[in-house]
């Protein structure tokens, strides 16, 4: 067994201990998880094998934008898992299929046990819109449902983290804080919900390109850790951003929230640009939209942006400015993380029957 598999397996076996790993073939597990956008970013791992971050991070979940996953044991002896995304069977050789199979290897009872995973994702996949975050979180929730593990939020967050770091935050709605932890075994690195709502807050998804990323975040963040001369100040920067963001949430200071998120994202992209080789996710439209945001701010409209490992921007604003934002960004998809859909603080797990 490779070192990587062994380290992940140790965590899974510890959390699942003597829990059930079998289900009838007519049973299905369902998990629904929101996508999340980091306001204070995670960029760099202290343990690459088990996705342990260098720093804490803080995100906002995107209500009903995310993944709904159904999982069941395969009734046929195909010898391979089937992964169906938005109605389409993934090629067995595709990068995504391989990633999901590797993740499922951590959970199967025996090599003969295969799964059928059906996922519907309502955000563009692989374009820096956290589709892997909601995908792995929903898969963990679906497995928890299928096998009736009744895991708590901490355990669910740790398991989701093994699929993708940011998935640890997609276990909860609202503002979520992922603590980096200090233990080498990774059992103290998980996300918790911040006990606060902000009904007027809006997040706008500005999809400028839904093309696949030029370089995946896993590889890119490692290059930054190893080569950016500014990486050494990043942990301090994130710690400061988190303090300010928590304060902003507590006292509902939107300017502080937006300023902090925008600056944190720019700092992360500065790490990327100063990496060797340089990493640049922005395209011309990204830059044009950033300028537009700054121009609007000069005109007195309170709007800020954040950006992840892709060219798309996410805008932060308040509900009172929805109209002016939509006038300026006609294709924007406006999300109310706390409002409209009456989102509960825990992610939804639907009924188990087919
Ligand atoms: O969890 P990953 O490997 O998809 O990395 C996420 C990295 C960023 O989206 C850029 C930042 C973050 O905290 O979500």
How many angstroms is it from 183 CA to the middle of ligand 1? 21
Counting atoms of ligand 1 from 1, which one is nearest the CA of 40?
A: 13
Counting atoms of ligand 1 from 1, which one is nearest the CA of 37?
A: 14
Which residue has its alpha carbon closest to ligand 1 atom 10?
308
pLDDT at 340: 57
Reading the block at residue 342, the tokens are 């009456």
How many angstroms is it from 76 CA to the middle of ligand 1? 36
Q: What is the pLDDT of residues 230-249, one digit of tens each?
A: 999 999 999 999 999 999 99
Q: pLDDT tens digits, the chain, 354 residues: what are they?
A: 555 558 999 999 999 998 999 999 899 999 999 999 999 999 999 999 999 999 999 999 999 999 999 999 998 777 899 999 999 999 999 888 999 999 999 999 999 999 999 999 998 765 556 678 999 999 999 999 999 999 999 999 999 999 999 999 999 999 999 999 999 999 999 999 999 999 999 999 999 987 777 899 999 999 999 999 999 999 999 999 999 999 999 999 999 999 999 999 999 999 999 999 999 999 999 999 999 999 999 999 999 999 999 999 999 999 999 999 999 999 999 999 997 544 444 454 443 332
pLDDT at 126: 56
Ligand 1 pocket mutation, candidates 95, 166, 312, criterion most atoms within 8 A of CB: 166
pLDDT at 211: 75
Ligand 1 pocket mutation, candidates 165, 267, 310, 311, criterion most atoms within 8 A of CB: 165
Residue 165 in contact with ligand 1 by CB distance below 6 A: yes
| Most distant CA pair in the chain, distance | 63
């Amino acid at each position: 067994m490779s070192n990587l598999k062994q380290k992940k397996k140790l965590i899974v076996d510890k959390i699942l201990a003597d829990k059930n790993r079998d289900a009838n073939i007519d049973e299905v597990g369902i998990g629904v998880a929101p996508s999340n956008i980091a306001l204070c970013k995670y960029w760099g791992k202290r343990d690459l094998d088990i996705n342990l971050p260098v720093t804490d991070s803080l995100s906002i979940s995107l209500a009903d934008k995310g993944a709904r996953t159904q999982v069941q044991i395969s009734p046929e002896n195909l010898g391979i898992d089937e992964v169906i995304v938005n109605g389409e069977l993934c090629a067995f050789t595709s990068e995504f299929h391989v990633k999901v199979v590797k993740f499922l290897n951590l959970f199967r009872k025996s090599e003969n046990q295969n799964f059928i995973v059906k996922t519907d994702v309502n955000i563009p996949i692989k374009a820096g819109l956290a589709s892997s975050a909601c995908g792995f979180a929903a898969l963990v929730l679906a497995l928890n449902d299928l096998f009736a593990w009744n895991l708590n939020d901490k355990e669910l967050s740790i398991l989701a983290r093994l699929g993708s770091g940011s998935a640890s935050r997609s276990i909860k709605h609202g503002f979520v804080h992922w603590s980096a932890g200090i233990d080498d075994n990774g059992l103290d690195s998980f996300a918790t919900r911040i006990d606060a709502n902000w009904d007027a807050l809006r997040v706008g998804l500005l999809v400028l390109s839904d093309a696949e990323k030029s370089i995946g975040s896993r590889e890119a963040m490692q290059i930054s850790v190893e080569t950016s001369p500014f990486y050494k100040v990043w942990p301090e920067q994130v710690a400061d951003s988190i303090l300010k963001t928590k304060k902003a949430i507590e006292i509902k200071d939107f300017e502080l929230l937006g300023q902090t998120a925008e600056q944190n994202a720019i700092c992360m992209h500065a790490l990327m640009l100063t990496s060797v080789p340089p990493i640049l996710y922005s395209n011309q439209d990204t830059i044009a939209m950033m300028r537009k945001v700054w121009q609007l701010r000069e005109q007195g409209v309170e709007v800020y942006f954040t950006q992840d490992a892709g060219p798309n921007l996410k805008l932060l604003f308040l509900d009172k400015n929805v109209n002016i934002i939509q006038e300026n960004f006609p294709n924007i998809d406006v999300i109310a993380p706390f409002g409209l859909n009456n989102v509960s603080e825990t992610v939804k797990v639907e009924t188990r029957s087919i």
